[in-house]
Structure 1
Amino acid sequence: MKLEVNKIYHGFNLLEEYEIKEIQSIARVFIHEKSGARLLHLENADDNKVFSIGFRTPPSDSTGVPHIIEHSVLSGSRKYLTKEPFMDMAKGSLKTFLNAMTFPDKTIYPIASRNEKDFFNLMDVYLDAVFYPKIYDIPEILMQEGWHYELYDKNDDITYKGVVYNEMKGAYSSPERLLYQEITKSLYPDTCYQYSSGGDPDVIPELTYDAFLEFHRNFYHPVNSYIYLYGNGNIEKQLDFINKNYLSNFDKINIDSHVEIQKPFEKMKEVETYYPISKDENDENSTYLSLNFVLGESTDPEIYLMKSIINQLLIESSAAPLKKSLIDAGIGEDILAITSGGIQPSFGIVAKNTSLDKKEQFKEVVFSTLKKLTKEGIDKKLIEACINIAEYDLREASKYPTKGIMYNKTCLDSWLYDSHPTTHIQYEETIRNLRSKIDTNYFEKFIEEHIINNNHSSLVIMKGKKGLGDEKRKILEKKLSDYKNSLTDEEIETLIQKNTKLKEMQLSPDTPEAKATIPKLLISDVEPKAKVIPQEIIKDKEVTILYHDIFTSKIAYVDFLFDISMVDEELIPYVNLLTEIIGKVDTETMSYSQLSNEIYVNTGGIDLATEVYIENGNDKIYYPKLIIKGKTIGDKTISFINLVTELITASKIEDEKRIKELIQRTKSRLEMSIFDMGHLVSSKRTASYFSPGERYKEILKGLDFYWFICDINNNFENNSEEILSNLRKVYDMIFNINNLIISFTGAKDDFHITRENLHFVTSKLNTEKLEPKYYNFVETKLNEGILSSANVQYVSKGYNFNTLGYKYHGNMLVLSTILSADYLHNRIRARGGAYGCGISFERSGNVTALSYRDPNLKETIDVYDSIADYVKNLNLDTDDLTKYIIGTISKLDYATTPHMESQIAVRNYICHISQNDIQNERNEVLSTKLSDIVSLSQLLDDIMKENYCCVLGNENKIKENEYIFNKLVPLKK
């Protein structure tokens, strides 16, 4: 569509129009004349259309008001009168993305959909929410989403409840999150970045209703907004809609939301702080040491890219010299990089699991290594490899399935700071400039200027402290007790009435009139045919090749899936450990540093992973695999194949020192992920009690694997010979041609080149016929309470319906949508204060209900136990059921990258899920009747009565409910 610059379109003046070749788009920059709203449009052929509206929202305290506003505006608005229009749209939309996000200096509300009607519905709901929310009329919204004093009986203790409050209690259970907060406070003490925009749980209860409303009044005006449109939609129709329904109602005003720059320091700042560890945890080497440097301003395209390049170059790459020096010096179990965004990006070097007495040595090693690098020069191949990594990330939009969302975030990294909106998505010239400087001393000078000689820096020391959690809990209990004691009887009664009113609001159904305001789709709006992912099955001697002819922007994705079913049970964890070792140890011809450089100079990366594919309809049959995943550009294909051959035939598994380092790193990274993924940790643990396939998965890469890593790490010196012997045994066994599957995704020409050269790999593989092992995984009701220092719980319960005589049906997916978005949401999230909850029904027969960052435990299990009664008495009208059916289809049609599509096809092939099965499932979803849903109440009753559960959570909370469990297990043994 051709538009003219300096012409008004539906109230929007077109300031610029130009092509962006990097993302095959036409960019248009608009200003809305009446309201002052900014708008960026990226027109392209992508049918996955994106709309987003964002606001600059710098916080002035750590009450989390930007985050609480983000939650709250989506809880009812002028036009949309239900309690939670956001959830109502999530239940019944064909969206491919629907969320809202709070950052340290901005809040954004993005949506995406391929369906035009749905796209306009979602856009309307979000615009009405941000400009006309019900927060001014309904104070209970702040109570639910932010925080409130909870009391229902005058004899009970007062507690804090609130979704954001509990979300941030969960977030603050992560030491790395606490460290990040301390780093930003240390580097930006005079700016908004000193505060927690998400909210510090200790400070959130200081937020008043007046301050909450004032924040919205101050920042949620079009003049402070950044509107973004992406895809193949009709821009004039979109502009007309936004102008006519919203922006034309506003006039420009003055809003001061300017993000301040932190003045440079005269000398490095030093900060010391603490984080809680559990009573049973070893506090030796529980310190974090972090050196942090402000690099410049993010509006500078080279600084913006150099942040990620320096990260790879110094820390994240296997060839990173600074990480190697720190590890060699024995500074910590793991060396991490922590980077921050915002207007002044920073780069931090972190030694994890170390001790305070290493502080001076840590500083000395960092600066002496960097000075040596700047004096002697950095390996040019390492620089090239790190630039390649950055370029692949840009070209793949960081592998994000809805690229338009990623481009929106990237644009705001310049646009928000009054710079050009497309600076960072027009990256080719910057990449070319950086490549042209490889043979100069640019990178050495950058390190010298921005790190070595940079006084705008900090040293943050964070020490683990036993009992700190209990100290804080007692302080909170006293604070709440003192507050209650300060109240008169009348005030206590008023508080009880407020809570009762909130509870009634949460549990009362929306009126038919309110529900009628939510825009609806019809079943006729849904594509009845399931998507077919192209997959050609080629039997080539002993190897199966799966070819996926999918457009990939000239990138070739090649996956090698090796069967690991022949591995003895006691060696299963070693397979997953191998994925952390191969590619990071020397080979017969290269050091691991040289290998890393070769990989990233010639490819976009080669990664190893494990997966367990469970048979369609039978969780007792499963196919465990080790997968080597790589991506490359056509002319580098042969180099890629040679590198894969090197990895699987010539890796040296003898270097005790290096393997010990990699075991420590694996332990560290697992610890960092557990609380972020706590709901999956507990739900998969639950499933492992009754499902053989999930039991294998748990041993391979679940909590059992984490405990295995902790054990071999702690006892490495005594058992190194056995550990290395087992690794070698597994390495020699699994890289075997038998049952090998090779998946290729990309263009035909690239496929032919790859296929012609595959023999360089396959001819070197072990050909010995190895029989699969039988594992006697007996159903065992462990029902563990896993004790940790977390401030919240992750509560899971489930069982397998095949074992109980039921069969999988598509209507179970509709039931999952109803329960997750309605029953569980209302009771566990809205009323209970948990950040998330849900229930899943899998083809394998496994059913698991879960909660995320949940303040409760027994109450949540009670909710699960009452699911059957809710379903048995469920009464939905046709509109409601249609909404849930459409919401279920959106889960089947979720956004995918080209590589994700091929991985789905590979899974279906291995698990024997046919296109007919996929289509039947879709048909069953679309034809679901209320009677089908109600009939599943008996299945749910039978599932919950089996009483298999697992909880990961706070050690005190679990011990208070000890009777629920058969076993209490410390997370950190």
Structure 2
Amino acid sequence: LVRSRQRPKEVLSILALRALVFRSPLLGSAMTVLRAATGTNVRAGVQQGATPASLLRAGAPQRGFTSMRSTAASVMRPTLTAGMRMLGAVSARSRMGLRCFAVAATQVAPPAGAVKEAHGFVLDRQQYVKEYDSHVLLYKHKKTGAELISVLNGDENKTFGVVFRTPVDNSYGIPHILEHSVLCGSRKYPIKEPFVELMKGSLNTFLNAFTYPDRTCYPVASTNKQDFYNLVDVYLDAVFHPRCVSDPKVFEQEGWHYEMDTPEEPISFKGVVFNEMKGVYSSPDSVYYREVQRALFPDNTYRHDSGGDPKVIPHLTFEQFQDFHARYYHPSNARFWFHGDDDPVERLRLLDAYLSEFEARKVDSAVATQALKPEPRKVVAHYAAGDEEGDSKAYVGVNWVLTEEALSVETELALSFLDYLMLGTNASPLRKALNDSGLGAAVLGGGMDDELKQPIFSVGLKGVDPANVDKLEALVLAKLGELAKTGFSATAVEAAINTIEFSLRENNTGSFPRGLSLMLRAVGAWIYDRDPLTPLQWEDALTSFKAKLASGQDVFGPLIHKYLLDNKHRVTVALLPDSELGARTEAEERAALDAKMAAMGPSDVQAVIASTHELKERQETPDAPEALACVPTLRLADIPRTITKVPTDVTSLSGGAKLLSHDLFTNNVLYAEVALDMRGVPAHLLPLVPLFCRSLTNMATETESFVELTERIGRKTGGLSVYTFTSPLRGKPEEPVAYVMVRGKAMRDKAGDLMALVRDLLLTSKLDDRARFKQMVDETKAGLEASIVSRGHSFAATRLAAQRGRAGWISEQMGGLSYLEYIRGLAKRVEGEWDAVRADLLAIRAALLSRPGALVNLTADGATLSAARAPVDELLAALPAA
């Protein structure tokens, strides 16, 4: 997978997990808790449940990512190869198995002696960004005009990135193929896969690249200074002096080529990106988002697919590929970023060693603004439907480009609040109206998305009867009109403010480097020649926005009217099923290949065969030892001899429960996990446990409606979720441990509120809302079926793991193909056997609720831990003693 440069989310999750487990100074997550308490190996569970949307989102560098809402995905889809959605402010909905902590930000003294000129760079501006306790130096390279942002703070997880504007005027996929190809050897590191070799000895915490519709990013991060400098050097040599521009075989391997092993064998198209994009275009979700992007931006670069349309990728020539690199991969078209606690002067020296080889050049790479259209439009497209249940349904969404101009920070902030209020939780009115309408199976579209030059808003449903396309559009517009008139409840607004402000101030980016999160947020303005620091400075805008709300000013109604209801640049996209489209597409490809074959003479055939054999031989031939020796490695002296230990206090409580406490600075935030042993759950009910977890946060309790419960979570906490965790015991792989985890976070003064919420979810959830449960089943089913193509390898790996041990079998029952089969049957049972299904949900709860075997994990400073102890005791006392 690494060799092919496909780097799917699962690989990156493993790498991020490895980085955290072995190098994070502050590991206190649920997995660490369970390992400490039970001696288990770490295996990330899948987080269920829902918490808030992000604010001031940064880029989202992968195709097919899950958005901040559990059933929605962003329309503006950067093209592969990153691992996670990159967040400006990460919420608990980010579905990561591990989280980092709100670690103390080390105060950095103002750089009174900040170097104004060194190594070819001149200081253009310096500014202190209080939101992140960072000093920012903006430099310009005298010789090339290259721009650099150098961020100084106490973050030991040092980050570097280089970003090039790479707009396209076709869908050949040049930026995507180039992003793959530059990582296949360079002038200084002339081996096939320098990054594979780097991974063998690097201590990196991030090593990847991503292609957006208009830019390409190459970021790295490491907590080890020498390792960091090694990575920076390899990346700089890769982007400026790649082997791929002089070696057509790299282009053929990563992009496309004709393949034929013998004269009798049919000729075919092959190539990493070509095959990857065939898979992407076989996904209805991916096709839908591409049609939306094309419809919203008919007049600029976004109408094309920078990732590549497999129908036209074979039109790309090696000469076009070379020209694209020469045109755009130039320092004059680059933005560089450094972040962390390394030497700011050394940063300049590292860059100048490469930039000094170039001369300044004018690069025409600006993205044109899409003019807003005067009338709404409707677009109908088709996807290749199969024989699976649900393949006769449509994907329908209503979409807007919001403005031609850049939004102010305060306006963007207000729109983010509006987005959260309308769609951020399953209780949000627009999302709830869609779910309750019965028109579709799952919400579609990511709401507001500001990752490219112009922000958009997109919402709809998948699983829609084609006859109901107009009904869906009418529902969305009617609900927006109602919200513009009536507004939102005071408790909903309070919950939104608490949720978003908590997320901003916590700045918890999980396993994702904070420096990269900030870089992607800054680049979202910088790449369009806007002030890159504006997106990082939200404090004053937040204060002003809260003051307007406090004054009683109608903030949200005018926003709904201006950017949505009165905005005629609206496109309703209906993606309809076509059972013959897949066969037609394959036939067209075969016809093109047959025509090529018919036009070839015997010598042409032999040339293709020889080229095929040459490429395969090169792929299978290892690099020479002397070439491998060029890859930088760490010396033993470069690696710290001691590890940072997490302070862990284990307390055995009355009734058989355990309390694990980690006394760490968290800025008055309490992080809490309550783990309930699943060993008492009957095997035949295991596939129902994930939906049981979702039900706890998505149904009414004995004292609160579902909406009231959701608003209470938003007002009192920074997020609360329920999910499953499974792992084999360390040293005893045949013995599994499995828990239902309730995870939440809150400020010190709300520790009691957090534990009371956990208690109410576990003990008083009514689990009787058949309609809502049916929605969750339909959403789960739609999501699993949509992911089979793009995540087929993951399903296969889960199935294989089920044969190797009981922990793998349990995981497969709750997340593999067996789970999908169960969900399909459950969708029918809910209709005719609801009483039996509810009885099963109650049986799961009865099996889980037991004080013996329960674990509570708390991470906070000493004062916050003390404040949480009494609420924890009250929670445990409420659990049955046996």
Please give the TM-score of this superposition, normalised by the length of structure 2.
0.84
Equivalent residue, structure 1, for 2:522: 411
- 2:604 paired residue number: 491
Aligned position for 1:430: 541
Name the structure 2 match of 1:317.
Answer: 425
Aligned match of 1:370: 480
- How far is the alpha carbon of 1:549 from its aligned partner? 2.2
Aligned position for 2:436: 328
Work out the CA distance in 2 between the residues paired with 1:676 and 1:545. 40
Cα pair distance change 1:622/1:516, threshold 3 Å: closer
Structure 2 residue identity aligned to 1:356: P
Equivalence for 1:681: 795
Where do 1:519-668 residues align within 5 Å? 519-542=632-655, 543-668=657-782
Deviations 1:893-934 (A, max 9, x none): xxxxxxxxxxxxxxxxxxxxxxxxxxxxxxxxxxxxxxxxxx
Asked whether the 8 Å contact 1:55–1:107 carries over to 2, the reply is: yes
Work out the CA distance in 2 between the residues paired with 1:280 and 1:705. 16
1:269-288, aligned counterparts within 5 Å? Answer: 269-284=377-392, 286-288=393-395
Determine helix, strand or coil for the equivalent of 1:628: strand
Deviations 1:685-716 (A, max 9, x none): 11212422211222233322222122111332
Q: Secondary structure at the match of 1:153?
A: coil
Query: Equivalent residue for 1:692?
Result: 806
Contact 1:588 1:650 in 2 (8 A): yes
Q: Aligned equivalents of 1:519 and 1:623: distance in 2?
A: 41
Is contact 2:829-2:837 (8 Å) kept? no
1:4 to partner: Cα distance: 5.5
Alignment of 1:81-230 (within 5 A): 81-230=190-339
Structure 1 residue 504 displacement after superposition: 2.3
Could you tell me which amino acid in structure 2 is paired with residue 268 of structure 1?
P
Are the equivalent residues in 1 in contact too, given 2:700–2:709 (CA < 8 A)? yes
Residue aligning to 2:361: 253
Q: Which residue of 2 aligns with 1:962?
A: none
RMSD: 1.9
Note closer, same or farther for the CA distance 1:397–1:557 as it changes in structure 2 (3 Å cut): closer
**Are 1:65 and 2:174 matched, yes or no?**
yes
Distance in 2, matches of 1:669 and 1:375, equals: 34
CA distance in 2, matches of 1:713, 1:307: 36
The CA deviation at 1:530 is: 4.6
- Compared CA separation, residues 635 and 674, structure 1 to 2 (3 A): farther
Instruction: Indicate whether 1:467 and 2:580 are aligned.
Output: yes
SS of 1:399's equivalent in the other structure is coil
Q: Distance in 1 between matches of 2:595 and 2:415?
A: 48
Partners of 2:868 and 2:785 in 1: CA distance: 38
Letter in 2 for 1:59: V
User: What per-residue deviation string (whole Å, max 9, x for no partner) do you get for residues 301-336 of structure 1?
Assistant: 235445543443222312211122222221111123
Please report how far the alpha carbon of residue 91 of structure 1 lies from its aligned counterpart in structure 2 after TM superposition: 2.5
Q: Are 1:299 and 1:417, in contact at CA under 8 Å, matched by a contact in 2?
A: no
Deviates more, 1:718-727 or 1:513-522: 513-522
Q: 1:280 to 1:109 in 2, by over 3 A?
A: closer
Q: Secondary structure at the match of 1:715?
A: helix
Structure 2 contact 399–572 (Cα < 8 Å) conserved: yes
Q: Give the drift of 1:498.
A: 1.8
Shift of 1:650: 1.4
In the TM superposition, what is the alpha-carbon distance from 1:529 to its structure 2 partner?
4.0
Shift of 1:669: 3.2
Structure 2 counterpart of 1:271, which letter? V
Return 150-159 or 614-623, whichever deviates more: 614-623
| Greater RCO (Cα-Cα under 8 Å, separation 6 or more) | 2
Which residue does the alignment assign to 2:593? 480
Q: 1:295 aligns with which of 399, 402, 408?
A: 402
**What amino acid maps onto 1:659 in structure 2?**
F
1:762 maps to: 876
Partner Cα separation in structure 1 for residue 130 and residue 418 of structure 2:
26
CA distance in structure 1 between the partners assigned to 2:636 and 2:305 by the alignment: 44
Matched residues in 2 for 1:95 and 1:318: separation? Answer: 37
Contact 1:289-1:461 at 8 Å conserved across structures: yes
> Do 1:298 and 1:304's aligned partners in 2 also have CA atoms closer than 8 Å?
no
Which residue is 1:396 aligned to? 507
One-letter code aligned to 1:381: T
Write the distance in 1 (CA, Å) between the matches of 2:821 and 2:410.
Answer: 43
Q: Is 1:77 equivalent to 2:186 in the alignment? A: yes
User: 1: CA distance between counterparts of 2:390 and 2:209?
Assistant: 39
Aligned counterparts of 1:155 and 1:25: Cα–Cα separation in 2: 65
> For residue 728 of structure 1, what is the aligned residue in structure 2?
842
**What SS does the corresponding residue of 2:574 show, helix, strand or coil?**
strand
Q: Which moved more, 1:224-233 or 1:44-53?
A: 44-53
3-state SS of 2:531 partner:
coil
For residues 736 and 755 of structure 1, the distance between their equivalents in structure 2, rounded to whole angstroms, comes to 19
One-letter identity of the residue aligned with 2:526: W
| Distance of 2:600 and 2:418 partners within structure 1 | 56
Rounded Cα–Cα distance in structure 2 between residues aligned with 1:309 and 1:680: 35
Residue 528 (structure 1) shift: 4.3
Q: How far apart are the structure 1 equivalents of 2:708 and 2:474?
A: 26
2:20 aligned partner:
none
The range that moved more, 303-312 or 474-483, is 303-312
Helix, strand or coil at the partner of 2:382? strand
Q: In 2, distance between residues paired with 1:152 and 1:66?
A: 29
**Residue identity in the other structure for 2:402:** L
Q: Which residue of 1 aligns with 2:79?
A: none
Contact 1:610 1:625 in 2 (8 A): yes
> 1:338-349 maps to which residues of 2 (within 5 A)?
338-339=446-447, 340=449, 341-349=451-459
- Say if 1:432 and 1:666 are closer, same or farther in 2 by CA, change over 3 A: farther
More off after superposition, 388-397 vs 377-386: 388-397
Cα offset, 1:300, TM superposition: 2.9
Q: How many residue pairs were aligned?
A: 766
Q: 1:60 to 1:463 in 2, by over 3 A?
A: same
Contact 2:770 2:830 in 1 (8 A): no
Secondary structure at the residue paired with 2:652?
Answer: strand
C-alpha contact (below 8 Å) 1:12/1:32 kept by paired residues: yes
Amino acid in structure 1 at the alignment position of 2:420: Q
Read off the aligned partner of 1:512 and give its amino acid letter: P
Cα deviation for residue 632 of structure 1 reads 1.1
Read off the aligned partner of 2:651 and give its amino acid letter: I
Partner residue, 2:33 = none
Q: Mark the runs of 5 or more structure 2 residues left unpaired by the alignment.
A: 1-109
Sequence identity (%): 33
Relative to structure 1, the CA distance from residue 747 to residue 677 in structure 2 (aligned partners, 3 Å threshold; closer, same or farther) is farther
Cα gap change, 1:434 to 1:670, in 2 (>3 Å): farther
TM-score w.r.t. the length of structure 1 is 0.76
The separation in 2 between residues aligned to 1:233 and 1:56, in whole angstroms, is 27
Task: Quote the offset at 1:282 in angstroms.
Answer: 4.6
Shift of 1:479: 1.5
Whether contact under 8 Å (2:492, 2:711) holds in the other structure is: yes
* Contact 1:143–1:162 under 8 Å retained in 2: yes
1:280/1:291 CA distance change after superposition, 3 Å: closer
Kept in 2, the 8 Å contact 1:539–1:545? The answer is: yes
Q: Which amino acid aligns with 2:410?
A: E
Measure the CA separation in 1 of the matches of 2:246 and 2:420: 50
Q: 1:733 to 1:220 in 2, by over 3 A?
A: same
**For the Cα contact (< 8 Å) 1:338–1:350, is it kept in 2?**
no
* One-letter identity of the residue aligned with 1:521: L
Rounded to whole Å, the distance in 2 between the matches of 1:611 and 1:415 is: 41
